[in-house]
Every structure is written in structure tokens, then in C-alpha cells.
Amino acid sequence: MRLIAKILYALYALLLFACLSLLAVLGMLLLPGLSRRRWLGRRAARSFLYLSGMPLTVEGLEHLPPGPCVVVANHASYLDGVAFMAALPPRFGFVIKREMASVPLAGFLLNRIGSQFMARGKAGQTTKDARRVMRSAEHGQSLVFFPEGTFSEEPGLLRFHFGAFATAQRAGCPVVPAIIHGTRVALSPRGGLPQPCRLRIQILDPLIPGALTGTEAVAALCRQARNAILGKLKEPDREAA
């Protein structure tokens, strides 16, 4: 009976996600203006989490600076983006691996909410994408990064890439560390069925780029943010993994 209940819940959650995604696609085709489309994405994300039995609690929204900033968070599941979309104000855009741009429905939705795509492993494309992301930050865009770049089956915080911190240093804007809890259980990276689970996002105090310059400044900012996240995450340090 327990297995049947899990399967029925998974089917319900998938159907709910599909229906809300289709409604979001229709809305984003019709709605003019990036802020309106992001508002719609936020409503769809919140509706999915609420109706699927994954209530989201957000702590520390008051730590978000009123101006441009870069939010960096741990990455544990495909649900992380949905949760941050539901949690953050519509002024935030997401920096996502370029492979997602070619996924038919997800790529369209991400484009319509102004996401920035970043290539990995292709030197020329990576440099081009990094420059575009930096320009958007310099023009006042607030961005969300998952600096691990991926997630693994085993709990723990992986090594951070420098892109988010180089962007913040270049734009002269604060870095805001954030921690997401619960998504690894709700939708396991090991490929298990989704299950209802309480989700929680903690937003920590912003970090201001220091007096250092160049690579030293970027590395110091990365180290500060990673230590802040690791201290609250309650998962092992897997930087060497």
C-alpha cells in the first residue's frame, strides 16, 4: 500500500507540474514585459510547491540588498530552481547551464523569464557567455547562481566555480549566500520518486567585495560564501570530490 501511495503521489505531482507548465507557457506567450512574465513564473512555482505538498519557508528575505546583487546557493535537486523562483522577488534572473536551453519546454520558459545560459567546457563559448552575464550584472540585473554547477547523488557541498564571484566583483555588487534544505529528499538526485516534503530556504547576510583585486578578490569572495553556506548546510564538505 505504501508503494502504491508513492506511485499515485508521483503521478499526481508530474501531472500537476505538466498542467502548470503548460499554463505558464500560454501566459508567457501572451504577457508583455519581463517583470510580468517573472511574476507569472513565481506564481506557477508557488502553486506547484503548495499543491504538491512541498510547503516552502523562506528565512532572511530582509538580507537581500535593495539594489543589484548575486545570490549563490547550494545545489541538491532539479527542484532547486523552482524553489528559488517561488522564493525570490521577480527582479532576479537565473544563470543556468547552456544545455537547458535546448530542452523544449524548459528552454522556452527559461528564455521568457530572462535566464542567462552559461556553457561549460567549451572555452570560446564559456568566455562569451561569461562576458554577457557580467554585462547584465553591470547593468543592474540581480542574478542567482548555483556555483557547484551540478549536483551529485551523495549529500555534500561540491567545489564552487568562480563565475558568480567574478561577476559580482566586476559589477561591484554584494554576494548573498543562500541555503536550500529539503529538495534532496523531495526529488532525489538518485532518480527516486518525488515525495512530499517541507522545503526551507535560508538567506544569509550579504558579502561585500573587498579591497583585493583580480583573482585574489574573486577567490576570497568565493571562499567566504562557501564557508557561510557550509556552516548552515549540515552536509559534508566534498570540495575534493
**If you count DSSP H runs as helices and E runs as strands, how many of each does the chain have, helices first?**
8, 7
Nearest to 147 by CA among 174, 179, 170: 179
Q: Which three cell numbers stand for residue 97?
A: 547551464
Please list, residue by residue across 23-45, b when 16 or more beta carbons sit within 10 angstroms of its beta carbon and e when fewer do.
Answer: ebeebbeebeeeeebbbbbbbbb
Mean pLDDT of 16-37: 92
For the sheet with 56-59, list strands across it: 56-59, 199-203, 175-181, 70-73, 142-145, 92-97, 116-118
Q: By C-alpha distance, which of 74, 88, 118, 91 is closest to 225? A: 74
Which domains does the chain possess? 2-233 (3.40.1130.10)
Residue 165, judged by CB atoms within 10 A of its CB (0-12, 13-18, 19+), counts as buried
* Average pLDDT along the chain: 89
| pLDDT computed for residue 56 by the predictor | 97
pLDDT tens for 106-149 read 788 888 888 888 776 555 556 677 777 878 777 778 999 999 98
pLDDT at 126: 61
